[in-house]
Chains A and B, each alone.
Chain A
Amino acid sequence: MSTSQVKKVPYLLTTPGVLFFALLLGAPMVMTFLLSLHSYDFNTGIQTDWTIANYIEVLGDPYFQKIFARTFGLSLLVTVICILIGVPEAYVLSRLSSKWRSIFLLIVLGPLLISVVVRTLGWALFFGGNGVLTMISQALGFGDEPVSLMFTFTGMTIALVHVLVPFMVISVWASLQKIDPQSEDAGLSLGASKMTVLRRITLPQAMPGILSGSIIVFALTASAFATPAIIGGRRLKVVATAAYDEYLSTLNWPLGAAIAVILLLANILIIVSYNKVIERRFANIFE
């Protein structure tokens, strides 16, 4: 084979994969984007004109602004709670003997094996007006009022945290695995207490895992659909459910497409800039 032929090999080999993604991921995205540039008429449907009116409408309308604010507030809150729960969980996991570790790892990752819809419906049963939560509250004597977390921000947060905490655990766990256990011994030998070693030596080294876990959790929350749809319903819309409603209830596909495109862009923007900050901060420290 001549060198020019050799050079072509990698391209030829990746062609099937590239085509596959171009077709199944790229094409729908381009089509969604193109769709978002048409206007919509309630009598005649989608027009053939080109306009950015949909974007102006979404960005200018307080109704949509509130939905976007709610979505990112939710994402932030879920991320923070996932850090608070996932980091200690991963730390405890890394301290267990290998037998217990595999058992607990299975428990932690177990939820990922169940469909999101099934899990969320479970939460719905738990949260609902005559659900388990109400029964518990009545049994404990907090009055006969039904307690419901359905269609509340709290309910949505709890259900999403439950779904997403495993991602944080895996990511933090992976970076805890990379820590040289002798660096903790070194901390002890220099006079630090166990708590100080954890705070000053172990946690900072787990930081890359916490940060990448945060990116995953944030992105997945911002684009989550099933959980907000079931727990939040129509009363508490997030961006994904709002786009869905534009498509299927209002039938205003171009507006729905514009919402989806803005969500995508906002997500990319946030994640890329966050990643840049992390890279700059840790470039000299971790490989």
Chain B
Amino acid sequence: MSFLKFESLTKKFGDFVAVRDMSLDIEKGEFISLLGPSGCGKTTTLQMVAGLLTPTSGKISLDGKDITETPPNERGLGIVFQTYALFPHMTAIENVSFGLEMRGVAKAERIERASNALEQVKLGQFMNRYPKQMSGGQRQRVALARALVIGPPVLLLDEPLSNLDAKLREEMRLELRILQQDIGVTTVLVTHDQEEALSMSDRIVVMKQGDISQIAAPLELYERPTNTFVSDFVGKTNLLKGEVTDNNQVSVNGIKFEVDTKMHKQGTRIDLSIRPEKFRMSNDKKGQEVRVDASIFLGASWLYSVSSDLGQLFVTQPNTGTAGYSKGDIAWLDWQKGALTLFEEAAS
């Protein structure tokens, strides 16, 4: 049985539907990400779980109990807000022990548990600092410790890493994931950063304008997106427009190639997606001839922008320690049949 359950959850602001008919089952201990572009209703969903917004219709249940109408201060969930929302007039340890105080924990125990929580997020020596005296990353950890110290059944994270610089963000991803697995707390993370979702989650819920677009595990989502929106939003991809011409064959700009699926009828207009790293780029005159327009060195890999009869394509190739292609070079792109994903063109 699922631990946290949404049934037909809907939230309207006036006529505007922010979240539409959302149903989701989350297992105990699972790390779920709500991923989607700005304004797609991620925060709204999270706030309904937190009890800070009342759903227009639908039901939320936690461990079999309906909590749709439960006020936020009786849900006992741990929340890390996008702005961290630390109490500026309290020190780190006062912030963390606030939730324990509200639960009537005696002062000595409170202090001990709060300091342990701060140690756990490696802030042992910053306990008596005010939020203003701490860096963004340190504040983020205080917020995390404050949410976790109350031993919540569910941890809700609203873009907790978006205010950190790139390097710190990557470190925190890993730390957060390890911490979550150690504690085993069921976690819902809201993010618009696909890398974050891919690297941390057990399952990802991709949202688009209030609807669920796809639910899948990270690898599955990346390799087998079920629509163009997901394939474009999760990871980089090249989207080509074409038509099914024959069994197992599509044509793009008059160029035909083999594909795997037989599900599409002849004559269907389709979108074709191929990830930049699925290409093999070489000089051996096999596959599609392309001209390099731009070449960017990224350390671990090269990113090329190339033009061909198929159109403009992005290509990534691993850095093997030798010089890559440069602007103006001619090269050939080859790929496996399974690297292509096909979507029937949305009827729009």
Instruction: Report if A285-B130 is in contact (Cβ < 8 Å); known contacts: A189-B50, A189-B77, A190-B146.
Output: yes
Does chain B have a CB within 8 A of A143? no
Contact with B along A151-184 (1 / 0, CB 8 A): 0000000000000000000000000000010110
Distance in angstroms from B232 CB to nearest chain A CB is 31
What's the Cα separation between A201 and B73 when bound, in Å? 14
CB < 8 Å neighbour of B72 from A183, A185, A200, A286: A185
Q: Is the CB of A188 within 8 A of B132?
A: no
CB < 8 Å neighbour of B81 from A186, A204, A286, A287: A186
Does chain B have a CB within 8 A of A16? no
Does chain B have a CB within 8 A of A207? yes
Give the residue name and chain of the A residue nearest to B91 (CB).
Answer: A284
Q: Is the CB of B98 within 8 A of A187?
A: yes
Q: Is the CB of B102 within 8 A of A191?
A: yes
- Chain A residues with CB under 8 Å of B132's CB are 284-287
Instruction: Report if A191-B89 is in contact (Cβ < 8 Å); known contacts: A185-B52, A186-B79, A284-B133.
Output: no
What's the Cα separation between A9 and B82 when bound, in Å? 45
Tally of B interface residues using CB under 8 Å:
29
Q: Which of A180, A187, A191, A193 has the most chain B CB atoms closer than 10 A to its own CB? A: A191
Does chain B have a CB within 8 A of A192? yes
Q: Is the CB of B76 within 8 A of A191?
A: yes
Does chain B have a CB within 8 A of A75? no
Contact with B along A192-220 (1 / 0, CB 8 A): 11001000110011010000000000000
- Chain A residues with CB under 8 Å of B74's CB are 191
Give the residue name and chain of the B residue nearest to A197 (CB).
Answer: B73
- Chain A residues with CB under 8 Å of B250's CB are none
What's the Cα separation between A180 and B102 when bound, in Å? 21
Does chain A have a CB within 8 A of B55? no
Q: Which of A180, A186, A196, A286 has the most chain B CB atoms closer than 10 A to its own CB? A: A186
Distance in angstroms from A204 CB to nearest chain B CB is 4
Give the residue name and chain of the A residue nearest to B82 (CB).
Answer: A182
Does chain A have a CB within 8 A of B88? yes
Q: Which of B76, B82, B99, B103 has the most chain A CB atoms closer than 10 A to its own CB? A: B99
- Chain B residues with CB under 8 Å of A190's CB are 73, 98-99, 102, 146, 150
**Which residues of chain B in 104-142 are interfacial with respect to chain A, using CB atoms and an 8 Å cutoff?**
130, 132-133
**Which residues of chain B in 58-77 are interfacial with respect to chain A, using CB atoms and an 8 Å cutoff?**
71-77
Does chain A have a CB within 8 A of B83? yes
What's the Cα separation between A196 and B98 when bound, in Å? 11
Q: Could you list 21 examples of A-B contacts with CB < 8 Å?
A: A182-B83, A182-B85, A183-B87, A185-B50, A185-B85, A186-B81, A186-B86, A187-B87, A188-B71, A188-B72, A189-B51, A189-B52, A189-B75, A190-B150, A191-B99, A193-B73, A200-B98, A201-B87, A204-B89, A284-B130, A284-B132
